[in-house]
Amino acid sequence: MPRTIHLALHPYGVGGPGQHGLWKDPRVAKNASIDINYYIRQAQAAEHALFDALFIVDSQFINATYPAHYLNRLEPLTLLSAVATHTRHIGLVGTASSTYNSPFNLARRFASLDHISAGRAGWNVVTSFDSKTSRNYGLDEHLDYATRYGRALEFVQVARGLWDSYEDDAFPADVERGLFLDPAKLHELNYVGEHFTVAGPLNISRSPQGQPVIFQAGVSEEGRDLAAQVAEGIYAPGGTLEQAREYYADIKKRTAAYGRNPDHIKIFIHGSPLVAATDEAARRREREIFEEDNDFDRNLALLGRSFGAYDFSAHDLDAPFPDVAHLAEKGGRTGAAKLIERARAENLTLRQVIDTVHQFRRSPFVGDPRTVADTIERWFDAGAFDGINLAFRTEEELHLFVDGVVPILQKRGLFRTEYTADTLRGNLGLPIPENRHSREHALLAD
């Protein structure tokens, strides 16, 4: 079968990092991030365009400097459960922390979403970027990198074990025999590990896709290794074509090294396409958006997020970048470490670091519909991604992409012209996980 592109939609609401001023746009409702009808419209538009999934991000710590969308937004699984009842095909992927949840409760919630949506749920596993989240859970300190990723791997393993509590044919519901459940098809987990002790079983059956699809979004060594072990979908950072290709090749190689089929992990890069009537108009609008959002004080505050919500305003802007490496160890270590390394190597001031981080960078997916489609095709053929996680500032920009770019990709045989399955796994071309207990029975029978 020829490879085809997968597309997911990541709604911005009233604006996250890089779209701080979006809430000022008259086309954006000021309550978009808590308006379920906004998400339903987004999901239905994406489903009409045959997208694979709707993706909802999340975090559990804020202060007054955070982007507008972060300050007032819906909890992902509650949101997606509502969207599920207004859609039929599009996958529903929610972000949830393995650091600040328990396996039993989260496995049950995702299994419930999987049933509500008839097999369209996905879990984006994160270890929590904001280190001060710990204080919302009665903890003085955020867990270190090694502990968080070790816990995440174990968390996914426990969740998958719980999702296998019932074999597929566990409920005969035979009225004549008075047998609702075949007790031999119900299995306790009785898991005891380094981070968790969970008895089980889970009190909900397997869905039409067997288990929710596991997504992950790490870029660090620990993140890449976790993805190679457990992920079935990845939200990758993107960057340049060369960076995207390197990430793609590295993840596929690691996946094979763990004995997994590299085709069973789909890599989505982040993309913010901007489509206009002409390339010139699109590039002009891209620059205008940058200028609208480029506020120095806001950028200064945002920098602190990678360092445990540290307040950099206490420092002299024109003095050398302060020594804050210790603050990044439990937060956004990978990106923060690169920033610190560059600041030291080039002897940058705090002001220069802010300007460097937030300098204007042209997106590759900007232009008229054909230009954007050409670029997507070139990157896809070059082995940079399996799909794109698309973000649009407004619903109008989403429709410009759907009406202008998608038909071109379809005409070239790069994107589906109809859904071929009813589940998220089916549309991503991923296998249904065989229930471990059914597999054991089959092996014993042989």
Residue 372, domain member (yes or no): yes
Of 317, 338, 357, the residue at which a domain comes to its end is: 357
pLDDT above 90 covers a percentage of the chain that reads 73
User: Which are the contacts of 110, defined by CB distance < 8 A and separation ≥ 6?
Assistant: 77, 94, 96, 121, 123, 159, 212
Count of domains in the chain?
2
Please determine, for residue 415, whether its predicted confidence score (pLDDT) is greater than 90.
yes
Together in a domain, 205 and 337: no
Residue 288, domain member (yes or no): no
Together in a domain, 375 and 347: no
Together in a domain, 221 and 351: no
Q: Say whether 375 counts as a known binding-site residue.
A: no
Beta partners for 9? 54, 390
Q: Which of 9-13, 44-48, 68-72, 436-440 has the lowest mean pLDDT?
A: 436-440
DSSP secondary structure letter of residue 9: E
pLDDT in tens, 19-65: 888 999 999 999 999 999 999 999 999 999 999 999 999 999 998 88
Name which residue leads in pLDDT, 145 or 422. Answer: 422
Query: What is the structure's pLDDT at 341?
Result: 85
* CATH code at position 140: 3.20.20.30
Of 357, 385, 405, the residue at which a domain comes to its end is: 357
Residue 87, domain member (yes or no): yes
Together in a domain, 80 and 179: yes
Together in a domain, 152 and 208: yes
pLDDT in tens, 127-159: 987 778 888 898 888 888 789 999 999 999 999
Q: Say whether 25 counts as a known binding-site residue.
A: no
Query: What is the structure's pLDDT at 333?
Result: 66
What SS3 class is residue 246?
A: helix
Q: Say whether 70 counts as a known binding-site residue.
A: no
pLDDT in tens, 309-342: 788 988 999 999 988 877 766 556 677 778 888 8
Per-residue exposure over 386-407, b if at least 16 CB sit within 10 Å of its own CB, e if not: bbbbbbbbebebbebbbebbbe
* Cβ atoms 4, 415 nearer than 8 A: yes
Together in a domain, 203 and 349: no
Together in a domain, 185 and 43: yes
Q: Give the pLDDT mean for 79-101.
A: 97
Together in a domain, 216 and 238: yes
Q: 316: domain range?
A: 295-357
Together in a domain, 258 and 394: yes
Together in a domain, 265 and 310: no
Rg (C-alpha) for the chain, rounded Å, is 23
Residue 395, domain member (yes or no): yes
Residue 445, domain member (yes or no): no
Residue with tokens 């619903």: 395
Residue 28, domain member (yes or no): yes
pTM above 0.95, yes or no: no
Together in a domain, 352 and 372: no
Q: Which of 4-18, 233-247, 344-358 has the lowest mean pLDDT?
A: 344-358
Q: Say whether 220 counts as a known binding-site residue.
A: yes
Residue 289, domain member (yes or no): no
Together in a domain, 101 and 159: yes
Of 341, 357, 373, the residue at which a domain comes to its end is: 357
Residue 79, domain member (yes or no): yes
